[in-house]
Structure 1
């Protein structure tokens, strides 16, 4: 098998893997509060990336970047990392998990698929990024697909509800920090940047858990059955840790554009896994809605963003924007 084919396999695998967090988190939501689940996820993820960084510490890849430091001189980047960690990671996960009390995992996954559109929307106001006409059309098509999914005839949720609002807030929390996350990754490296973000996410939600008076021992419920152990392993170790190495492998062999296209499989992965694992209804209406959203996202990512040439930072780095 050629290196390029291996790269495509890696990219497609990541596209499916990053569409599964809200499905694999469902068994854990049955035994613990969503705030506790967020805390546990990022504690496990921080430990995982700490080990990965330790193994990679002497590699040429890590030596290309600056070393992140918690110093007064570096306070601006520390604050940016805190914002990316607490808002772009912890609140992103919290709102997403909380939405599962009101909507299905597949609905959540499809709304998460709108993140690339939200990122460029943030860039429009913050960095002067511009939509092309093709991207505007694709965005409208994607929203139409989501609307179809929300108002699916067979749904018992009664259409638009609080769960959809929470899912959109989750997607916006992630998108709102995408440009800052990209800037930090360019300076300190992707894995190192995510590691420090995860630390802030875990520390931040430690205080949230304490504020609400939750019992930290309830996190041990994640280890009371094989399915829950597998869920926290996939969520904290694989999705938030090892997957970045596979993602970088894919980028190195098929490029950012190819890997970005594969990430459009995320909504499809959420839908398929929710149907297979959680026995969510698999209807023609839902299939059409998913097909519309995935097709629209592929068109959106394929279209070149129109940004002022004088400032290349207006163009979001896709390899960072997609990290979950």
Structure 2
């Protein structure tokens, strides 16, 4: 009874974490209505999130202290912080200027398939028959959804889709490459360090490229930046970690299927975005494909 109660509690906080993560795209699109550019919005997100990760880094400063770290380990940490949370976030924020929030979440949801392809390419891990079929199904769903979007909004949708796909590629690269570093640093310490590095990258990017006054935006922009940082970044990261610990990563893979659905619902409520029936069918195909990929990791080819 106790285990069952714990399981469903883990499912509940997992769903909450996924929904909060999914709200990011909607909050960013709301901010764009107030004439803010992507790098300024990303900067605000990082400015508000940075103190939280500094505290986390301090609290977990002694995690895995028994492991001897080399300069090479720190070099890789900097690299993965650069691509995983800076480049990935930047491409995502730029892509959202071109496409709907619902479509953004569907494309980002591809990252498990990219991880599998990278593992096959670089680590020589086999792809099972079920995974291969699911990957084909997933990309077919993307083609269905995006073909209809191009008909509706024009070729600009392609550019937005490319940016979001680049974001998914960067995040998948981070997941594949950082796997061997996390045991050395510890999960909390590695995540905090990587986030702090990405924050610094955004600060430098903004300083070098933007001529906008950071203090010239309306109060709504700062509020949305705070909400993105705290409620769509920091809090869900802990909820998801806790959920995985309580119900296992394979069960959480099923829970994560609520991500695209919740984004589509939130975008309809707050942005008045509507996906066509063809796009919804494409999204369903993508979700089923990703769930098959996630649940078939242990199968043999």
TM-score w.r.t. length of structure 1? 0.83
How far apart, CA to CA, are the structure 1 residues paired with 2:192 and 2:98?
A: 31
Q: Which residue of 1 aligns with 2:204?
A: 207
1:133 deviates by: 0.8
Does residue 49 (structure 1) correspond to residue 53 (structure 2)? The answer is yes
Aligned-pair distance for 1:283?
2.8
Distance 1:67 1:32 in 2: 46
Equivalences for 1:216-235 in 2 at 5 Å?
Answer: 217-218=213-214, 221=217, 224-225=219-220, 228-235=221-228
Alignment of 1:132 onto 2:128: yes
Of 85-94 and 183-192, the range deviating more from structure 2? 183-192
> What residue number does 2:80 align with?
84
Displacement of 1:285:
1.8
Q: 1:229 Cα deviation (Å)?
A: 4.5
Counterpart residue number, 2:169: 172
- Aligned partners of 1:63 and 1:250: how far apart in 2? 24
Cα shift at 1:68 = 9.4
Distance 2:264 2:75 in 1: 36
C-alpha displacement of 1:53: 4.8
Residue in structure 2 matched with residue 294 of structure 1 by the alignment: 287
User: What is the distance in 2 between the residues matched to 1:244 and 1:25?
Assistant: 18
Indicate the larger mover: 73-82 or 135-144.
73-82
Q: Structure 1 residue 271: deviation in Å?
A: 1.7
CA-based RMSD: 2.6
Match for 1:150 among 102, 122, 146? 146
Deviations 1:146-186 (A, max 9, x none): 11110127622348521111111111111112122222222
In 1, distance between residues paired with 2:192 and 2:66?
A: 12
Aligned equivalents of 1:97, 1:297: Cα separation in 2: 23
Report the TM-score, using the length of structure 2 for normalisation: 0.88
| Shift in CA distance, 191/28, structure 1 to aligned 2, threshold 3 Å | farther
- In 2, are the aligned partners of 1:19 and 1:265 still within 8 Å (CA)? no
> Are the counterparts in 2 of residues 19 and 266 from structure 1 also a CA contact under 8 Å?
yes
Structure 1 position 190, deviation (Å): 1.9
Residues 98/133 of structure 1: CA separation in 2 closer, same or farther (3 Å cut): same
In structure 1, the partner of 2:42 is 38
Change (3 A) 1:208 1:293: same
Contact kept, 8 Å, 1:146 with 1:293, in 2: the verdict is: yes
Question: For residue 196 of structure 1, what is the aligned residue in structure 2?
Answer: 193
1:283–1:184 distance in 2 versus 1, CA, 3 Å: same
Partner of 1:316: none
Shift, 1:10, TM fit: 1.1
CA contact (8 A) 1:7 1:250 kept: yes
- The aligned length equals 296
Q: How far apart, in 2, do the equivalents of 1:261 and 1:178 lie?
A: 19
Tell me, which stretches of 5 or more residues in structure 1 are unaligned? 309-324
C-alpha contact 2:22 2:260 (8 A) present in aligned 1: yes
Cα distance in 2 between the residues matched to 1:277 and 1:300: 31
Once the two structures are superposed, residues 6-65 of structure 1 have per-residue CA deviations (whole angstroms, 9 ceiling, x without a partner) of: 1110112222222222221112234322112222222322211223455x54xxxx8652
Does 275-284 or 292-301 show the bigger shift? 275-284
d(CA) in 2 for partners of 1:32, 1:218 = 10
* Superposed CA offset, 1:255-276 (max 9, x none): 1211122123222222221112
